[in-house]
């Protein structure tokens, strides 16, 4: 336990993940949190603000409220203008971004962001010379300078959830790390994608640590640390991670990863091992963690806020006077004793086992020294094979795991722990007592392609056993599993990607054999011709390679994602750093055209609705004035009529609001498709060509040049 | 501010049963008192603390598991003889470890509990009480339900000694010779008793966590006080009355099965109040008071399930101690200890590596068997009356790796906040009889797991837990728990006769044992065997507060309940069970129409409360927003302000009872279906209308709906 050096309490709810601290006058730190009713709470114990405008004094002393008027979805603060030595507040909503000069009580800039703002960071990015506010939204990332100029734009595979600036490549320039809903962590150096790590759930938080290390957390309660692309450690808890932060709590010069949990726990973990070093508990969920010199004495405190407005500040251990040495010594002793005890138990188990060898084989129940034991033949083995099944009308295509024992022992249950392919983290097969046997089939339905490790635990014994042997083994399923060799009459897909590589055909064949779960390994000598069917969507996939024609590879599939996956996987395997392709996806581009048309439609509807709303608000004003006049005159009849009308208008407004909401969600989902298409087009290329394609697509969309967009997707440039 | 406690760990022995740790009386003024502890490996260990180190005085050879350890000795002398019960035997050791008694009772059951007084031994198996004097059979008594603990109130006159049996059916049976003197009803199943005052003040603790004091007089009991278990703490496993604070007054030390040790003192008015507490990671099996580490400091010695013996004392005393016994070990000494341990572990690891190789080799040869020994599991599956759900507690001596829960009956598994284990639900697979498949993956060093299970009355089956500890060779044990048809009922002492009752009457060619087994199948809290010619038992539904009475004898059974659904479930299950045995049952029932409205009236306040709670919790956020935008609460009405002021409590209360409203609605629907089933009508088609009515709940219209 660590002891806080100060505590505060705001009588406001604080939204999880929306806390920050800023030196708005350049000197005094102010804790800033998003609270209910579209307001931002600014705690300012050191100086006064000018009230008026957006700022109003709160009910408590030192607390001011900043009115945004819309639900706040992202909040951060930072020195956005390098000419002025003070921080600016950046608040994001579902449709806009506001940069605010709290000190002057004035807007710095306000911009509409169609993709919404899920997360925002402020800082230097790569070689862009001025600090920018980077906002992540619906598949897109945008960067603004202090005047609101759009300096940076790129796309990711899904909604952006978390961002952090970190010197990932250790070149003294900051890279942008982005975590999104598609389980991926992507690292951008300016707008070039330098690394991509796939996790097992949506990424919820990211924070820079020392050097190239950064912390991350997932929606399933995992928290961990990466150094570049290597994961140092991770742990999983049943609670949700709300916020992660870096702070050197033990004063050894290396920052720890501080995690705030949904159950109110705060813990500090060693950045290399993940070992818990300190913890504290709040009565309610944590809302945010920051650090600041809040007492103005030259020391940075770690500050944690809970959603109920409780704030605690901590100092590094040695400074706050807490000593941990005696407890650790005791703990070491206890831990060692425990280890000794466990070893002794294990030894005892082996000793009993030796005694068991004297017992005859085939007994279902036996006793040694009066305690019952579970007996099985010592040479029992567990056999596991993987297979692909096309399924039938009732069952989706799936992978079958055939598990069996090598003798008459039965499999009571199978527990498989794996990440990302089951609803939870485990899958259990427990046959009814009359159906147990020495064979079990486990069906697995992977929802997307990817490498998965299956940790299998099989309980082996006899029918009436109460005690089972647990067999443990790990099997890996390759990246592309639900594919089988297509029959000869399979029609050829309309779409294709064509590119040239200078590699031997064997290497490509090797890659395919490693990454596809095929019953028979494919072979090829002078020409590679593989025809597969993806069982999940029942679509064909043809891969063709002609070494004679400059190593021309043709991938034929209607699934743009799949083509991208294959190209990315193959080029990584072959070490290709730059690749331009010719992509022809007629169906998909047709679909994109219709989406773009819809986007236009929704835009115009939205404008029309806004105009109508303005009309209504005028009407309301006049109705209220009329009704109130009537009331003052004592004309109750007219007052009543006036308010009745007002009620009708109000009802209209509400129904219009829901229309607007629907319109907006539709617009967003369509915009997402557009962004994702650009991302997919990028994934068909590698290296520089990829960055170029994304930039060119963006330019085409900005200038509303659809035909040029299509050309870029096809050829890589206009 | 609570008083701070210092803890120091002494030694670890094997798994321990409750009440197996005692402190020998002070022998010499120079050294601390000796501690004796007996474990499941059958060893009795006696140790003494010297300069902060535990030195073993003696340790007996392993044998059958020891269930109790008591101290005794000739009357008027020092009580320093050690008595242990193992299997049907009683063994006696003196303080040096020399065995002076080996007494085989020849009982068929093994001895579970024991009390010793002079040359009298009071021994109990599961149901039998035996009194031996000088190892000769003296008295005998058969209890109707399981005996959980035995104690005796001493007396100058040897024949006036009063033995007391704490029995599962919520009574303390006070014995005279071979007969019942009288019995004391208490509100829970007593699990442990402790003598507070030789004049007959008895402390008792129950499995549902409450404890109290009762005076046992020669002819009648006198209830002193009882502390309810409002915080839902674990069951009481051991208690001791000891002056831990050294203030001349005895405190009450309570050890619970959730690892909590509490120390109660008295406030100014003499009422008990909690003074301090300490939490262990395992259940506490014994607690004893004495001066062990330091002759000047009173301390409590606590033993846990996995056999850790820990000393606990009031912190300040240590600093004030001037004796040279408890010099806290210097860091060098500590380092030495750690080094010693490390080298021991290394040695063990080498041996284990060899054994592992051997094991692997064995696996490759034919005609051999591989055995996994049984590890002991301390498990508990009890109904919690407060929220009408079952608490499942699993405790293993080794760290748990994972637990698989499987149930062939629909139950809800609720996770507890204090668990650190990660729960994951697998898809249910009804075809294979799996209505629940869930895995718990435990964090390192978890030896205890607690879960909450919510059952539905009328649906019955078995819940199984497959427990895999983190120990090589990896093995797994399965434990089964019955989910009974009337799982939410709890025993009470008597029926409230003023209620309108529905009656179900059974008659046929069945024996008492047969009908008893059927009822045992239906209801929890039942003794395994029926005693006497007829049985009369009363139950209360912990969820609805309706009651049930079962009266049965050979060839006849009469059941009365104010809840028709209870009768319907009983009827269904009994018919099924009787058919299995091919016994013809004559069934008649007498439905009391008043009982329907009565049952709905019982449910009414619960519905009302839930609905208003849900409503209030729903508007908290909106009110908070208003408060922020209006800058205060003055604009709100009194009732809204109250909601805001109590927002936290309301949320807490709401969180405590998830889906209680759905459960209540389900009960009402069942009651509706059952009512008409007894009238021979199927009203399934009217259920949607009923549900619609429940959405706009109103008692009168509901009663109307039922009667039409």
CATH number of the domain within which B516 lies: 3.30.160
pLDDT at B69: 92
- Residue B666 in any domain: the answer is yes
- In which element (H, E) is residue B436 found? strand B436-441
Structure-token match 């009469």, residue found: B558
* pLDDT at A324 > cutoff 50: no
pLDDT at A364: 46
Cβ-Cβ contacts under 8 Å between A and B: the total is 233
B38-48 mean pLDDT = 89
Range A98-102 average pLDDT: 87
pLDDT of residue A694: 85
Task: Report CB contact under 8 Å: B476, A35.
Answer: no
- Cβ contact, residue pair A469, B474, below 8 Å: yes
Regarding whether B639 and B627 lie in a shared domain, the answer is yes
B171-214 pLDDT, tens digit each: 899 988 888 888 888 888 899 999 888 888 899 999 888 899 99
Please give the residue of chain B at the shortest CA–CA distance from A431: B432
Of B406, B471, B621, the CB nearest to A345: B471
- Chain B residues near residue A409 by CB distance under 8 angstroms: none
Q: How far is A427 from A417, CA to CA, in rounded Å? A: 7
Please check the confidence at residue A345 and state whether its pLDDT lies above 60.
Answer: yes
Query: Which architecture characterizes domain A6-242 according to CATH?
Result: 7 Propeller (2.130)
Pick from A56, A234, A424 the residue to mutate for testing the B interface (most B CBs within 10 Å): A424
Do both B513 and B609 map to the same domain? no
SS3 content of chain A, % helix, strand, coil (to 5): 25, 35, 35
Which residue matches tokens 């050879």?
A: B61
Q: Distance between CA atoms of A349 and B438, rounded to whole angstroms?
A: 28
What is the average per-residue pLDDT within B406-424? Answer: 84
| Nearest-neighbour CA in chain B from A372: distance (Å) | 6
Contacts of B345 in chain A (CB under 8 A): 336, 339-340, 343
Work out the end-to-end distance of chain A between its first and last CA atoms, rounded to an integer number of angstroms: 61
Q: Find all residues with CB under 8 Å of A232, minimum gap 6, and list them.
A: A213, A224, A225, A226, A271, A272, A273, A274
CA distance B162 to chain A (A): 36
Q: Pick the residue of A415, A423, A443 with the most B CBs within 10 A to test the interface with B by mutation.
A: A415
Q: In what order do the strands lie in the sheet with B190-197?
A: B190-197, B201-206, B211-216, B221-227
Establish how many alpha carbons lie within 13 A of residue B654's alpha carbon, considering only the half-sphere containing its beta carbon.
15
Q: State residue B320's pLDDT score.
A: 38
> Residue A370 pLDDT > 80, yes or no?
no
Q: Could you report how far apart the first and last alpha carbons of chain B are, in Å? A: 61
SS3 B673: helix
Point out the least confidently predicted range of A192-196, A391-395, B1-5.
B1-5
Are residues A422 and B9, on separate chains, in Cβ contact within 8 Å? no
Rounded to an integer, the average pLDDT of A247-274 is 86
Which residues on B lie below 8 Å from A374 (Cβ)? 371-372, 374, 475
* Of residues A332, A371, A430, nearest to B432 (C-beta): A430
> Which residue among A376, A431, A472 sits closest to B474, beta carbon to beta carbon?
A472
Rg (CA), chain B: 29
* CATH annotation of A483-576: 3.30.310
The pLDDT value given to residue B1: 43
For A158-172, A689-703, B310-324, B477-491, which range has the lowest pLDDT when averaged over its residues? B310-324
Show the tokens assigned to A86.
């003070």
Q: Which residue of A has its CA nearest to B472?
A: A346
Task: Test A370 with B477 for CB contact under 8 angstroms.
Answer: no
The residue assigned the tokens 């929306």 is A18
Name the residue facing A352 among B342, B373, B417 (closest C-beta): B373
User: Which pLDDT score, from 0 to 100, does residue B426 have?
Assistant: 86
3-state DSSP call for residue A359? coil
Chain A interface, best mutation among B350, B370, B441, by max A CB count within 10 A: B370
Q: Does B506 share its domain with B465?
A: no
Q: In A271-421, which ranges are continuous DSSP H helix?
A: 317-320, 325-356
Residues A361, B365: C-beta atoms closer than 8 Å: no
Residue A359's CB: how many other CB atoms inside 10 A?
A: 16
> Element (H or E) spanning B353, and its range?
helix B331-363
CB atoms A426 and B369 under 8 Å: no
Q: Does the pLDDT at position B330 exceed 70? A: no
Domain identity same for B608 and B692: yes
Beta bridge partners of B587: B506
Q: How far apart are CA B676 and CA B238, in angstroms?
A: 50
Contact A337 B356 (CB under 8 A): no
Out of B534, B556, B591, a domain closes at B591
Q: Do A185 and A201 contact (CB within 8 A), yes or no?
A: no
Residues of A in contact with B372 (CB under 8 A): 349, 353, 373-374, 467-469
Question: What was the pLDDT predicted at A216?
Answer: 93
Distance from CA of B36 to the nearest CA of A (A): 20
Of B366, B425, B429, the CB nearest to A379: B366
Determine contact, residues B285/B16, Cβ cutoff 8 Å: yes
CATH of the domain at B463: 2.60.40
Chain A's closest residue to B399, CA to CA, is A342
Task: Judge whether B501 lies within some domain.
Answer: yes
Q: How far is B399 from chain A (nearest CA, A)?
A: 9
Q: CB-based contacts of A297: which residues, under 8 Å, 6+ apart?
A: none
pLDDT, mean over chain A: 84
> Does residue B35 sit in helix, strand or coil?
strand
Contact A259, A204 (CB under 8 A): no
Which residues of chain B have a CB within 8 Å of the CB of A435? Answer: 432
Distance from CA of A361 to the nearest CA of B (A): 6
Only one residue has tokens 């921080």, namely A87
Q: What is the ipTM of this complex?
A: 0.78
Q: Is B412 contained in some domain?
A: yes
Q: Is the pLDDT confidence value at B279 over 90?
A: no
For A505-518, write each residue's pLDDT tens digit. Answer: 888 888 888 888 88
- Cα A438 from Cα A501, distance rounded (Å): 49
Predicted confidence band at B317 (pLDDT cuts at 50, 70, 90)?
very low
Residue A51 pLDDT: 67
Question: Sorting pLDDT into bands at 50, 70 and 90, what band is A53?
Answer: low
Strands, E assignment, A493-575: 496-500, 528-534, 539-546, 552-556
Answer yes or no: are the C-beta atoms of A294 and A301 closer than 8 Å: yes
What number of other Cβ atoms are within 10 A of residue A297's Cβ? 8
Confidence of residue B321 (pLDDT cuts 50, 70, 90): very low
Q: B47 pLDDT exceeds 50?
A: yes
Lowest-pLDDT range of A574-583, B321-330, B594-603: B321-330
Same-domain pairing of B567 and B607: no
Model pLDDT, residue B404: 92
Which residues on chain A are in Cβ contact (under 8 Å) with B344? 340
Say whether B371 and A468 touch across the interface (CB within 8 A).
Answer: no
* Listed residues B527, B561, B591: the one ending a domain: B591
Helix axes A706-715, A688-702, angle to 10 degrees: 170
pLDDT at A377 (0 to 100): 77
Question: Tens of pLDDT along B546-591?
Answer: 899 999 888 888 999 988 889 889 888 888 888 888 888 888 888 8
Residue A50: pLDDT band with limits 50, 70, 90:
low
Model confidence pLDDT, tens digit, residues B134-150: 888 888 898 888 899 99
User: Is residue B374 exposed (0-12), middle (13-18) or buried (19+ Cβ within 10 Å)?
Assistant: middle
Minimal Cα distance from B336: which residue of A? Answer: A333
Residues of A in contact with B341 (CB under 8 A): 333, 336-337, 340
Among A344, A361, A470, select the one facing B474 at the smallest CB separation: A470
| 3-state SS assignment for residue B169 | coil
* CB < 8 Å to B625, chain A: 36-37
**pLDDT for B674 beyond 80:** yes
Please give the helix or strand (H or E) that residue A437 lies within, else none.
none
Find the domain containing B501 and state its range: 489-591
β-pairing, A39-43 with A29-35? antiparallel
* A375 vs B contacts (CB less than 8 Å): 369-371
CB contact under 8 A, B369 and A36: no
> Closest to B466 (Cβ–Cβ): which among A377, A427, A459?
A459
Final residue belonging to a domain, choices B562, B591, B620: B591
Alpha carbons A81 and B153: distance in angstroms, whole number: 84
Closest chain A residue to B373, measured at CA: A373
- With contact defined as beta carbons under 8 Å apart, do B166 and B147 qualify? yes
Q: At what angle do helices A706-715 and A586-633 cross, to 10 degrees?
A: 140
Band the pLDDT of A701: cuts 50, 70, 90: confident
Q: What is the pLDDT of residue B165?
A: 92
| Residue A369 confidence (pLDDT) above 70 | no
**Contact status, residue B440 vs residue B394, Cβ threshold 8 Å:** no
- Say if the Cβ atoms of A413 and B473 lie within 8 Å: no
The Cα A75–Cα A91 span in angstroms is 5
Quote the strand ranges of B291-334, DSSP E. Answer: 299-304, 308-314
Residue with tokens 């341990």: B341
Residue B702 in tokens: 């509901």
What pLDDT is stored for residue B21 in this prediction?
A: 92
Q: How far is B518 from chain A (nearest CA, A)?
A: 23
Q: Which CATH number fits domain A382-477: 2.60.40, 3.30.1600, 3.30.460, 1.10.10?
A: 2.60.40
Same-domain pairing of B456 and B504 = no
| Nearest-CA distance B521 → chain A (Å) | 21
Tens-digit pLDDT profile for residues A273-318: 888 888 888 888 899 898 888 888 888 888 999 988 888 988 887 6
Chain A residues whose beta carbon lies within 8 Å of the beta carbon of residue B358: 350, 354
Element (H, E) at B704: helix B699-707
Q: What is the pLDDT of residue A217?
A: 92
What DSSP character marks residue A393? S
**How confident is the model over A372-416, as pLDDT tens digits?**
566 777 778 888 888 888 877 788 888 888 998 888 888 888 999
Among chain A residues, CA nearest to B334: A329
With both helix axes pointing from N to C terminus, report the angle between A636-683 and A586-633 in degrees, rounded to the nearest 10: 160
- pTM (predicted TM-score): 0.81
Q: Nearest CA to CA, how far is B627 from chain A (Å)?
A: 9
What's the gap in Å between the CA of A348 and the closest CA on chain B?
9
The distance of B145 to chain A (nearest Cα, Å) reads 27
Indicate the number of domains in chain B: 3
| Half-sphere exposure in the Cβ direction for B166 (13 Å, CA) | 30
Q: Do B425 and A435 lie within an 8 Å CB cutoff?
A: no
Please report which helix (H) or strand (E) contains residue B357, including its range.
helix B331-363
The answer to whether the CB of A147 falls within 8 A of the CB of A166 is no
**What are B499-557's pLDDT values in tens digits?**
888 899 988 888 888 888 888 888 887 887 777 788 888 898 888 888 999 998 888 88
Mean pLDDT over A459-478 rounds to 86
Q: For the sheet with A150-155, list strands across it.
A: A119-123, A132-136, A140-144, A150-155
Closest CA to B640 of B655, B654, B619, B609: B619
Give the model's pLDDT for residue B37.
Answer: 92
CB A652 within 8 A of CB A616: yes
Q: Helix or strand or coil: residue B674?
A: helix
* Whether the Cβ atoms of residue A287 and residue A307 lie closer than 8 Å to each other: yes
Our measurement of the distance from residue A439's CA atom to the centroid of its chain's CA atoms, rounded to an integer in Å, reads 38
**Distance of residue B647 Cα from the nearest chain A Cα, in angstroms:** 11
Q: Which residues pair with B236 in a beta bridge?
A: B256
Residues B682, B605, single domain; the answer is: yes
- pLDDT of res. A215: 92
Confidence of residue B639 (pLDDT cuts 50, 70, 90): confident
Inter-chain contact B373–A428, Cβ cutoff 8 Å?
A: no
Nearest Cα residue in chain B from A238: B422
- C-alpha distances (whole Å) from A366 to each of A83, A438, B370, B582, B696 are 83, 21, 12, 35, 61
Q: Please report which confidence band the pLDDT of residue B331 belongs to, taking 50, 70 and 90 as the band edges.
A: low
């Amino acid at each position: 336990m660590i002891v806080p050096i100060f505590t505060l309490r705001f009588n406001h709810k604080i939204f999880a993940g929306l806390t920050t601290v800023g030196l708005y006058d350049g000197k005094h730190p102010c804790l800033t949190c998003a609270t209910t009713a579209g307001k931002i709470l600014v705690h300012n114990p050191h100086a006064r603000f000018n009230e008026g405008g957006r700022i109003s004094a709160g009910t408590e002393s030192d607390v001011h409220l900043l009115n945004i008027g819309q639900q706040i979805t992202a909040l951060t603060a930072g020195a956005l203008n390098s000419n002025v030595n003070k921080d600016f507040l950046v608040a994001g909503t579902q449709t806009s971004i506001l940069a605010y000069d709290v000190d002057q009580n004035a807007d710095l800039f306000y911009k509409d962001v169609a993709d919404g703002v899920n997360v925002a960071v402020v800082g230097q990015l790569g070689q862009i010379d001025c600090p920018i506010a980077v906002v992540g939204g619906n598949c897109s990332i945008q960067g603004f300078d202090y005047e609101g100029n759009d300096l940076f734009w790129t796309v990711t595979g899904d909604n952006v959830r978390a961002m952090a600036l970190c010197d990932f490549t250790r070149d003294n320039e900051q890279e942008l790390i982005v975590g999104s809903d598609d389980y991926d962590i992507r690292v951008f150096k300016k707008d070039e994608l330098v690394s991509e790590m796939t996790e097992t759930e949506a990424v919820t938080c990211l924070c820079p640590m020392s050097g190239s290390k950064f912390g991350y957390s997932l929606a399933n309660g995992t928290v961990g640390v990466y150094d570049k692309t290597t994961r140092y450690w991770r742990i999983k808890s049943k609670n949700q991670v709300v916020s992660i932060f870096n702070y050197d709590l033990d004063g050894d010069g290396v920052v720890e990863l501080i995690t705030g949990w949904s159950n109110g726990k705060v813990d500090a973990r060693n950045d290399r091992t993940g070992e818990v070093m300190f913890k504290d508990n709040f009565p309610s969920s944590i809302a945010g963690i920051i650090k600041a010199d809040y007492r103005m004495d030259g020391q940075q405190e770690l500050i944690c806020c809970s959603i109920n407005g409780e704030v605690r500040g901590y100092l590094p251990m040695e400074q706050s006077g807490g000593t941990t040495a005696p407890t650790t010594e005791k703990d070491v002793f206890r831990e060692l004793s425990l280890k000794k005890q466990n070893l002794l138990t294990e030894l005892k188990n082996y000793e009993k086992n030796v005694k068991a060898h004297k017992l005859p084989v085939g007994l279902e129940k036996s006793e040694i020294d009066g305690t019952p034991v579970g007996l099985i033949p010592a040479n029992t083995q567990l056999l596991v094979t993987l297979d692909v099944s096309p399924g039938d009308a009732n069952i989706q295509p799936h992978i079958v795991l055939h598990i069996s024992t090598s003798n008459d022992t039965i499999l009571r249950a199978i527990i498989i722990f794996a990440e990302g392919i089951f609803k939870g983290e485990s899958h259990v097969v427990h046959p009814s007592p009359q159906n147990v046997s020495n064979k079990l089939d486990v069906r697995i339905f992977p929802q997307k392609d990817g490498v998965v490790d299956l940790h299998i635990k099989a309980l082996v014994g006899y029918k009436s056993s109460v005690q089972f042997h647990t067999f443990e083994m790990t099997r890996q399923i390759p990246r592309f599993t639900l594919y089988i060799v297509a029959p000869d009459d399979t029609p050829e897909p309309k779409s294709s990607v064509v590119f040239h590589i200078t590699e031997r055909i064997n290497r490509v064949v090797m890659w395919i054999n490693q990454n596809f779960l095929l019953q028979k390994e494919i072979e090829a000598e002078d020409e590679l011709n593989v025809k597969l069917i993806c069982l999940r969507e029942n679509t064909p996939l043809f891969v063709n390679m002609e070494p004679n024609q400059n190593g021309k590879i043709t991938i034929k599939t209607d699934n743009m994602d799949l083509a991208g996956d294959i190209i990315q996987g193959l080029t990584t395997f072959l070490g290709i750093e730059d690749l331009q392709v010719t992509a022809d996806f007629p169906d998909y581009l047709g679909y994109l055209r219709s989406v773009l048309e819809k986007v236009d439609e929704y835009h115009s509807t939205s404008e029309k609705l806004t105009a109508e709303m303005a009309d209504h608000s005028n009407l309301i004003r006049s109705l209220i004035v009329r009704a109130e006049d009537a009331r003052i005159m004592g004309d109750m009849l007219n007052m009543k009529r006036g308010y009745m009308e007002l009620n009708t208008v109000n009802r209209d407004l509400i129904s219009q609001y829901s229309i607007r909401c629907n319109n907006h969600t539709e617009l967003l989902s369509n915009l997402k498709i557009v962004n994702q298409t650009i991302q997919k087009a990028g994934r068909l290329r590698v290296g520089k060509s990829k960055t170029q394609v994304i930039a060119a697509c963006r330019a085409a969309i900005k200038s509303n040049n659809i035909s040029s967009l299509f050309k870029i997707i096809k050829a890589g440039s206009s | 501010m609570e008083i701070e406690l210092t803890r120091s760990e002494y030694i670890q022995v094997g798994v321990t049963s409750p009440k197996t740790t005692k402190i020998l009386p002070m022998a010499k003024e120079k050294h601390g008192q000796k501690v004796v502890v007996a474990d499941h490996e059958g060893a009795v260990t006696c140790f003494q603390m010297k300069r902060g180190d535990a030195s073993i005085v003696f340790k007996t050879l392993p044998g059958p598991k020891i269930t109790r350890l008591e101290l005794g000795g000739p009357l008027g002398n020092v009580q320093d003889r050690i008595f242990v019960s193992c299997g049907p035997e009683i063994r006696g050791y003196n303080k040096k470890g020399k065995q002076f008694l080996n007494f085989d009772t020849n009982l068929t059951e093994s001895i579970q509990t024991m009390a010793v007084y002079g040359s009298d031994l009071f021994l109990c198996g599961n149901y039998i009480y035996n009194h031996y004097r000088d190892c000769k059979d003296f008295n005998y008594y058969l209890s109707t339900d399981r005996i959980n603990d035995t104690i005796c109130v001493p007396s100058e006159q040897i024949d006036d000694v009063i033995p007391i049996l704490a029995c599962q059916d919520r009574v303390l049976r006070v014995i005279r010779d071979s007969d019942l003197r009288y019995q004391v009803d208490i509100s829970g199943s007593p699990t442990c008793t402790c003598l507070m005052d030789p004049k007959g003040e008895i402390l008792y603790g129950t499995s549902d966590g409450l404890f109290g004091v009762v005076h046992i007089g020669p002819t009648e009991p006198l209830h002193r006080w009882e502390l309810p278990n409002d915080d839902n703490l674990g069951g009481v496993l051991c208690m001791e009355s000891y002056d831990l604070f050294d203030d001349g007054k005895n405190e009450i030390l309570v050890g619970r099965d959730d690892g909590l040790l509490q120390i109660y003192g008295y406030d100014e008015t003499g009422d008990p109040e909690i003074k301090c507490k300490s939490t262990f990671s395992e259940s506490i099996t014994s607690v004893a008071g004495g001066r062990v580490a330091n002759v000047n400091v009173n301390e409590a010695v606590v033993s846990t399930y996995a056999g850790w013996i820990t000393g606990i004392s009031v912190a300040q005393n240590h600093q004030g101690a001037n004796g040279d016994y408890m010099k806290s070990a210097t860091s060098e000494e500590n380092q030495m200890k750690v080094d010693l341990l490390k080298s021991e572990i290394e040695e063990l690891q080498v041996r284990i590596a060899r054994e592992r190789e051997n094991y692997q080799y064995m696996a490759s040869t034919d005609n051999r068997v591989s055995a996994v020994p049984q590890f002991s599991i301390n498990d508990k599956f009890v109904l919690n009356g407060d929220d009408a759900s079952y608490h499942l507690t699993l405790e293993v001596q080794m760290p748990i790796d994972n637990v698989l829960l499987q149930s062939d009956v629909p139950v809800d598994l609720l996770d507890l906040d204090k668990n650190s284990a990660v729960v994951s639900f697998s898809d249910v697979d009804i075809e294979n009889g799996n209505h629940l498949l869930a895995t718990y993956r435990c964090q390192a060093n978890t030896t205890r797991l607690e879960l909450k299970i919510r059952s539905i009355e009328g649906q019955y089956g078995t819940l199984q837990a497959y427990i895999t500890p983190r120990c090589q060779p990896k093995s797994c044990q399965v434990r089964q728990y019955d989910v009974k048809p009337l799982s939410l009922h709890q025993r009470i002492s008597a029926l409230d006769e003023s209620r309108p009752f529905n009656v179900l009457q059974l008659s046929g060619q069945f024996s008492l044992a047969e009908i008893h087994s059927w009822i045992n199948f239906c209801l929890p809290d039942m003794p395994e065997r029926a005693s006497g010619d007829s049985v009369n038992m009363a139950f209360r539904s912990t969820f609805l507060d309706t009651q049930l009475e079962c009266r049965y004898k050979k060839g006849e059974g009469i059941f009365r309940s104010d809840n028709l659904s209870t009768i319907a479930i009983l009827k269904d299950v009994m018919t099924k069970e009787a058919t299995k045995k091919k016994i013809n049952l004559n069934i008649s029932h007498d439905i009391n129409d008043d009982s329907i409205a009565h049952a709905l009236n019982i449910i009414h306040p619960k519905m009302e409360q839930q609905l208003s709670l849900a409503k209030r919790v729903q508007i908290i956020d909106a009110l908070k927003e208003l408060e922020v935008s209006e800058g205060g609460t003055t604009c709100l009405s009194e009732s809204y302000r109250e909601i805001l002021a109590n927002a936290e409590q309301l949320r807490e209360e709401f969180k405590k009872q998830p889906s209680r409203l759905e459960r209540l609605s389900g009960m009402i629907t069942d009651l509706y279906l059952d009512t008409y089933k007894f009238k021979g009508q199927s009203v399934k088609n009217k259920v949607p209308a009923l549900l619609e009515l429940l959405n706009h709940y109103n008692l009168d219209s509901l009663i109307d709906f039922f009667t039409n």
